[in-house]
Structure 1
């Protein structure tokens, strides 16, 4: 195998900081392919079950985003209990060296091997005869985000989403936050109210924006030839009907003819309209939904 430059990280969300790191890796070794090494599932789900963060994207999305960000190859390392117990020496010999790295790029706080025994200095020593090591700040991005700190991280994006702050999340991601999945059969209440929705269930492992109503777009993943459609998006548990399951429900504006059951879709969040409300009756709910749709139509289409 020819030489490469290997960038190691979790890359959850593939935000602007991650993309800047990939660009920097290519600048360091302009003649070499960039290999992004990532781990699945999240390491904390194995070493500290129950303490892992909610993920910003699933594995397929992560791989696609890394490729779009400039990775020539994505190496997904299964993070198992056995893998977590590997020594730093074993990680280098069995995982890194087969990739023929001329340079390895990691974060300043990079740890690897059993009980996180390996450090950046350990990596340099183990790779001394094989590759160079560059340690950089993986959460630094060129963007000055909300608060002016200019720091971007998956943690900060999760915090912004939890507050319903879609704008800040989008700034740090460099794109609208999105949620993808296969449309499931719901309660059909939306259709009965005149607002049929495409419903996605939210895994407890995934990050979702705070409960509320959002303006956004819905696109069919397997039909890239179709333009994204403007949508009113509800995130929550249907408090008016005492629902319990967290859902992302999207009403495509002015469309009651769509049949999207079992179709893979992606919902892109543009702005937050309001929080969730438990209405006293159906009439109040329909009135509010009409107001929401009018506002969202104006925001997305100018009409």
Structure 2
């Protein structure tokens, strides 16, 4: 898959790549954060239509995500995020590199990454559609059912279809990317609201209809699509990594560099690879998980089953008074892996337990042995699928 980066000028204009006058394109547009099953359906439809008509399949995505740009402007008196300025996007489900790899797996020929700016966001959807037809040779636009593009999100599927029917210059293909139904999440995720809605998600069989109604009346909430980045983020905030995986079509993962820790795990016989949680992606809720780690800096990129903990390590927090949130992954291998300064991927299969404070080191070791056994069972089950 070829990749082109474009940066709008001060008026929002983009110098689009030149595919040639004879090239016809099928274009899918979106943030594609997470590249979940809904995104995959849109991208796959673009690929299939392009194959059928011998056209070029193109995905247009935005970096930074529009939400990041608008949040920065809101915090800085309407200022634009500078092109060379670093930014925090801890709400992202995937890095740009991960998004591109996943989009390529859907068979897309070319990805265009637009450096999203406030000026670009002010372009009307009519102007944007005209540029796609005139500059990129778009003959089919593929969108999800609830997609909106252009200034003030005025370019709804209905509005775009009206333009397509009136101009006859392109066709609109709409994909139902919403998944099975809708979900309720709290609009103000206070600890109490988070706990209540997490119970609805994690243990629905334990909640009566009357209790469900009481929760939804007591705490302000909103509905979101099941196949949505928003719902995946909520699931991760509850520790429901298996729910997130069912929407993503793969285990949720975070990438990071292994840092030096206190080496307590190695002293106890459970050497861990430690990541700071200051990552450019969503970190699941504190707790212990079964999953895997992959060494991305080794050519073969070996993958190991791993027991993973996220949190502040409360058992030892009293020793130095420093409390920092970290990801610790214990690879279930016969020999210790020297992964310091390596770039690794941590994948989450299933939530095991909340983070607990143990009264003694022996209790901690016994718990780690139990987590190891549970992890082996869970990861072996995945391998057998």
1:194-209 to structure 2, matched below 5 A, reads 194-203=269-278, 206-209=281-284
Question: Which one of 155, 177, 181 corresponds to residue 138 of structure 1?
Answer: 177
Counterparts of 1:3-22 in structure 2, within 5 Å, are 3-22=24-43
In 2 relative to 1, CA 281–141 (structure 1 residues): closer, same or farther, beyond 3 Å?
same
Distance 1:204 1:19 in 2: 25
Partner of 2:329 in structure 1? 250
What is the SS of the residue equivalent to 1:268? strand
Q: Following the alignment from structure 2 to structure 1, what is the Cα–Cα distance between the partners of residues 300 and 90?
A: 35
Deviates more, 1:159-168 or 1:218-227: 218-227
Aligned to 1:180: 255
Alpha-carbon deviations, 1:139-182, whole Å to 9, x = none? 2379xxx99x9942222222222222222221111111111122
Alpha-carbon distance in 1 for matches of 2:55, 2:323? 51
Distance (Å, rounded) in 2 between the aligned partners of 1:140 and 1:117? 24
- Once the 2 structures are TM-superposed, how far is the Cα of residue 4 of structure 1 from its aligned partner? 1.1
Cα deviation code 1:254-291 (max 9, x no counterpart) = 44531111111111212222111122333322221122
Give the TM-score of the pair, scaled to structure 2.
Answer: 0.69
Match of 1:157 among 225, 232, 242: 232
Task: Tell me whether 1:225 sits opposite 2:286 in the alignment.
Answer: no
What is the deviation of 1:73?
1.6
Q: Which residue of 2 aligns with 1:108?
A: 145
* Residue matched to 2:211: none
- Computed over aligned residues only, the root mean square deviation of the Cα atoms, in angstroms, reads 3.0
TM-score (norm 1): 0.86
**Hey, what's the Cα distance between the residues in 2 that align with 1:53 and 1:181?**
13
Give the gaps of 5 or more residues in structure 2: 1-18, 76-88, 182-201, 205-223
Task: Indicate whether 1:27 and 2:48 are aligned.
Answer: yes
Residue 230 of structure 1: how far off its partner (Å): 1.5
Query: Can you give the 5+ residue segments of structure 1 that lack an aligned partner in the other structure?
Result: none
Find the aligned partners of 2:323 and 2:228 in 1 and give their Cα distance.
31
Partner of residue 342 from structure 2, selected from 263, 268, 273: 263
CA contact (8 A) 1:17 1:141 kept: no
Shift of 1:60: 0.5
Number of aligned residue pairs: give it: 299
State the SS of the aligned residue for 1:295: helix
Report if aligned partners of 1:164, 1:209 keep a CA contact under 8 Å in 2.
Answer: yes
Selected match of 1:61 from 98, 118, 125: 98
Identify the match of residue 118 of structure 2 among 81, 85, 103: 81
Worse overlay, 155-164 or 218-227: 218-227
CA contact (8 A) 1:20 1:141 kept: no
CA distance 1:267–1:258, change in 2 (3 Å) = same
Q: CA deviation at 1:59?
A: 0.7
Q: Distance in 2 between matches of 1:96 and 1:60?
A: 28
Write the distance in 2 (CA, Å) between the matches of 1:106 and 1:299.
37
Structure 2 distance, partners of 1:90, 1:297, is 55
Distance in 2 (CA, whole Å) between partners of 1:245 and 1:36 is 39
The alpha-carbon distance between structure 1 residues 183 and 97, as it changes in their structure 2 partners (threshold 3 A), is: farther
